[in-house]
A and B are shown apart, each in its own frame.
Chain A
Amino acid sequence: MAGIPTILHVGLVWIPTIASILLSFSNWKGIRFSDITWVGITNYQQIFTVFEKNFFQALINNSVLLVFLFVGPTTLGIILAYLLDKDIHGTRFFQSIFFTPVVLSLAVVGFMWQSVIYSTENGLATQLFGGGKPIDWLGNQSFLVPFGGGYGISNNFVAILVAMAWRHSGYIMVLYLAGLKSVDNTLREAAMLDGSNEWQTFRHVVFPSLKPINVVVAVITVIEALRAFDIIYVLNTPRKTEVLSILTTNNLLGEGGGNVGRGSAYATILFVLCFGFVIWYVRNHYRNTQEGADS
């Protein structure tokens, strides 16, 4: 009964994952199987030397995204959830607004940001900050925060971060709101009666009691930071906004298309970064359920 679904899932998800790792040690161009030559770690060496500019910039961007998501939209999502949980009139209404970006199709999201907000000539951001002059928000590759050595956080990447924050907050808000509704209110009231102020109550009572949700929110934020792709790809910026998933795909579709070996090497690096984290989460989850089932 579970056979066919498992074969399908393992066959199309896990086998290709392993194939990616294996192919990262080859220089295959994807033409014939007989062309596969094993070249050891050459692809990785090239990534760290020839393509270092793209690779390290991508690594920086993924890291910046990770920190940014936690500090910005994840925190904002939690704050919004907490505030909406205080019997506000029209909670539902506000909830819908904040969550709409999550369900909107990428075709719309891309258009909104590329044109409505960031259009060089007549986008809202240009109207507000341009002072009558055009601003090339998505094309400006100069660094807003230079790190030296030709690396940094570019202006156009910051523009993209704003669009990503807009999408991410609502997702976190919905998850957290569900968690907050499950918090036992007598705990809160007891803490308030003991003289805790609101922040102390949240910090010492509410937040710790939401550990399962906190874990989920953390996992989602990390995974989203590592697999960010869609918005960046659609906004189609010239450079300096690359992330690991984009580099992998560029070796399939882009100018360097058909480079299976190098593309797989990028994929493997991405996999290594994700996998420890995924294993930690899965073990954590099923250890708990196992204990629950035994007791």
Chain B
Amino acid sequence: MTGTGVGARRRVRVKPARVALYAFIALTALLWLVPIAGAIFASFRPFADTVRDGFFSRPRSFTLDNYANAWDQGDILHKYWNTALVLVPALVLTLFFSSMVAFVASRYSWKFNILLLSVFTAGNLLPQQIIIQPLFQFYNRVEMPSFLSNSGKLNGSTWGLVLIHVAFQSGFCTFVLSNYMKLLPKSLNEAARIDGAGVWNQYRQIIMPLTLPAVAALATLEFTWIYNDFFWAVVLEQQGADRPITSSLANLGGEFFTDDNLIAAASMYVALPTLIVYFALQRYFIAGLTIGAEKG
């Protein structure tokens, strides 16, 4: 969106600069693709070839065996399922909870609003490792009925992961949604109040429909972040069988697979869901990041 006037004039005047510009961007992009391309490339080659010739070498043959073997040996379907069990409730609850906090804090003048929002915003910026020691001890001591947790504790249960995701991610989501809701005209609430709408109806029927673009944007972002979570699952879900896919396949070295090319294929399975969401919903994705930032 450079001003067309400036852009057009420069294009005519300084052509070599333009060429250099494209060259720089294209080369950098190429460099950025190297690790990704290398992994994709390896996933389609037999192990023996890359061992003999290196990851970047002329291919002798291509194969789909890695994908078939990785699917079975890595128990990929089961791990997708583990992920969904954490991801879906965490995503829904995070957005629901943070939209309510944001609604209360941004639509009503209340003495503690700023404090409330500050607590959420600051919480979102803390490193996860700060709270892990007490959290781990706490999770170890909360008993859970066996139909909710294989370990009988909050530690090692799917719901333990859901809870910490919701608690932690609601920091960021509350921050973004309150920024967004603040921009909606105050008169909306007043009109609704005169019409006799209660607080819940104001939230549900008036503010939420208008906030939907921001919620959609956050949903794509949070999908990716929760899916890609590594730390919570590594510490709070130590039984490999119940782990979501990211953490269970992150330490790929040797636990499930014996060769690098199998790992390459398995890692493609792991990457696929977030890549699909990102490329299909890129517009929302970037909007989610920038609603938070622009108001900064």
State the A residues within 8 Å of B (CB).
1-2, 4-6, 8-17, 19-20, 23, 30, 80, 83-88, 92, 94, 96-101, 103-108, 110-117, 119, 121-124, 126-127, 166, 170, 174-175, 178-179, 181-182, 185-186, 188-189, 192, 212-213, 215-216, 219, 223, 226-227, 229-230, 233-234, 236, 244-245, 248-249, 251-253, 260, 263-264, 267-268, 270-271, 274, 278-279, 281-283, 285-286, 289-290, 293
Beta-carbon contact of A85 and B267 below 8 Å: no
User: 8 A–B contact pairs at CB < 8 A?
Assistant: A8-B167, A170-B32, A174-B289, A178-B294, A216-B292, A236-B251, A270-B129, A289-B182
Minimum CB distance partner of A212 in chain B = B296
Minimum CB distance partner of B179 in chain A = A289
Q: DSSP class of A's interface residues: helix, strand, loop or mixed?
A: helix
Beta-carbon contact of B105 and A2 below 8 Å: yes
Beta-carbon contact of A278 and B122 below 8 Å: yes
* Binary contact track B265-296/A, C-beta < 8 Å → 1, others 0: 01110110011011100100110011011111
Beta-carbon contact of B246 and A116 below 8 Å: no
Beta-carbon contact of A274 and B129 below 8 Å: no
- Nearest Cβ on chain B to A73's Cβ, whole angstroms: 11
State the B residues within 8 Å of A (CB).
1-7, 21-22, 24-26, 28-29, 32-36, 38-39, 42, 50-51, 53-57, 97-98, 100-101, 103-105, 114, 116-123, 125-138, 140, 163-164, 166-168, 170-171, 174, 182, 199-200, 203, 224, 227-228, 230-231, 234-235, 245-246, 249-253, 260, 263-264, 266-268, 270-271, 274-275, 277-279, 282, 285-286, 289-290, 292-296
- Nearest Cβ on chain B to A256's Cβ, whole angstroms: 12
Minimum CB distance partner of B33 in chain A = A97
Given A12-B163, A116-B39, decide whether A107 and B55 contact each other with a Cβ distance below 8 A. no
Q: How far is the CA of A268 from the CA of B199 in the complex (A)?
A: 40
Q: How far is the CA of A160 from the CA of B53 in the complex (A)?
A: 25
Beta-carbon contact of B123 and A19 below 8 Å: no
User: B7: which A residues are within 8 A, CB to CB?
Assistant: 86-87
Beta-carbon contact of B235 and A249 below 8 Å: yes
Q: How far is the CA of A13 from the CA of B57 in the complex (A)?
A: 49
Minimum CB distance partner of B139 in chain A = A12
Q: How far is the CA of A179 from the CA of B294 in the complex (A)?
A: 7
User: B125: which A residues are within 8 A, CB to CB?
Assistant: 219, 223, 274, 278, 281
Q: How far is the CA of A11 from the CA of B128 in the complex (A)?
A: 14
Beta-carbon contact of B286 and A178 below 8 Å: yes
- Nearest Cβ on chain B to A83's Cβ, whole angstroms: 6
Q: DSSP class of B's interface residues: helix, strand, loop or mixed?
A: helix
User: A94: which B residues are within 8 A, CB to CB?
Assistant: 25-26, 29
User: B246: which A residues are within 8 A, CB to CB?
Assistant: 105-107
Of the candidates B55, B104, B278, the one having the most CB atoms from chain A within 10 angstroms of its own CB is B55
Beta-carbon contact of B38 and A116 below 8 Å: yes
Beta-carbon contact of A236 and B129 below 8 Å: no
Beta-carbon contact of B294 and A252 below 8 Å: no
Given A5-B101, A12-B168, A106-B228, decide whether A282 and B122 contact each other with a Cβ distance below 8 A. yes
Partner of A6, one of B101, B227, B235: B101
Beta-carbon contact of B270 and A267 below 8 Å: no
Beta-carbon contact of A106 and B250 below 8 Å: yes
Identify 10 new A-B residue pairs, CB closer than 8 A, beyond the known A6-B116, A219-B296, A252-B136.
Answer: A1-B104, A16-B133, A80-B28, A100-B275, A106-B246, A107-B249, A122-B51, A229-B128, A233-B231, A248-B129
- Nearest Cβ on chain B to A102's Cβ, whole angstroms: 8
Partner of A166, one of B35, B42, B227: B35
Beta-carbon contact of A9 and B127 below 8 Å: no
User: A127: which B residues are within 8 A, CB to CB?
Assistant: 54-57
- Nearest Cβ on chain B to A263's Cβ, whole angstroms: 5
Minimum CB distance partner of B30 in chain A = A97
Q: How far is the CA of A101 from the CA of B29 in the complex (A)?
A: 12
Partner of B138, one of A10, A16, A229, A290: A16
Q: How far is the CA of A16 from the CA of B168 in the complex (A)?
A: 12
- Nearest Cβ on chain B to A8's Cβ, whole angstroms: 5
Q: How far is the CA of A18 from the CA of B270 in the complex (A)?
A: 36
Partner of B6, one of A112, A192, A270, A274: A192
- Nearest Cβ on chain B to A215's Cβ, whole angstroms: 6
Beta-carbon contact of B97 and A5 below 8 Å: yes
Beta-carbon contact of B132 and A248 below 8 Å: yes
Q: How far is the CA of A293 from the CA of B290 in the complex (A)?
A: 21
User: B120: which A residues are within 8 A, CB to CB?
Assistant: 9
Given A13-B171, A223-B125, A229-B231, decide whether A105 and B271 contact each other with a Cβ distance below 8 A. yes
Beta-carbon contact of B25 and A108 below 8 Å: no
Q: How far is the CA of A99 from the CA of B32 in the complex (A)?
A: 10
Beta-carbon contact of B100 and A1 below 8 Å: yes
Of the candidates B33, B53, B166, B228, the one having the most CB atoms from chain A within 10 angstroms of its own CB is B228
Q: How far is the CA of A260 from the CA of B133 in the complex (A)?
A: 6
Q: How far is the CA of A85 from the CA of B10 in the complex (A)?
A: 14
User: A293: which B residues are within 8 A, CB to CB?
Assistant: 182
Partner of B268, one of A86, A100, A108, A114: A108
Beta-carbon contact of B133 and A9 below 8 Å: no
